[in-house]
């Protein structure tokens, strides 16, 4: 998995944000105050569905 994805997820968690997958879309909550830079980075990281895959796998691992 890309270090950029891991760093992005960690940064969002540090800001108190939750990342979830809805279909192949990544949803950030709370979205209020999310910078345009973070939105663009999230879109770029999920271009091929890699961010969504990482989040899905990490949620499955936590559920076990």
| pTM exceeds 0.75 | yes
Nearest CA to 22 out of 59, 62, 3 is that of: 59
Distances (CA, A) of 37 to 41, 50, 56, 63: 6, 18, 23, 31
DSSP bridge partners of 21: 26
pLDDT (tens digit, 9 = 90+) per residue, 3-36?
999 999 999 999 999 999 998 789 999 999 999 9
- The number of beta carbons lying within 10 Å of the beta carbon of residue 4 is 13
- Six-digit token pair at 12? 């969002």
């Amino acid at each position: 998995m890309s270090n950029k994805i891991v760093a992005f997820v960690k940064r969002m968690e540090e800001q108190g944000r939750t990342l979830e997958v809805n279909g192949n879309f990544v949803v950030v909550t709370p979205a209020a105050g999310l910078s345009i830079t973070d939105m663009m980075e999230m879109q770029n990281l999920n271009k091929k569905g890699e961010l969504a895959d990482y989040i899905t796998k990490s949620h499955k691992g936590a559920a076990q």
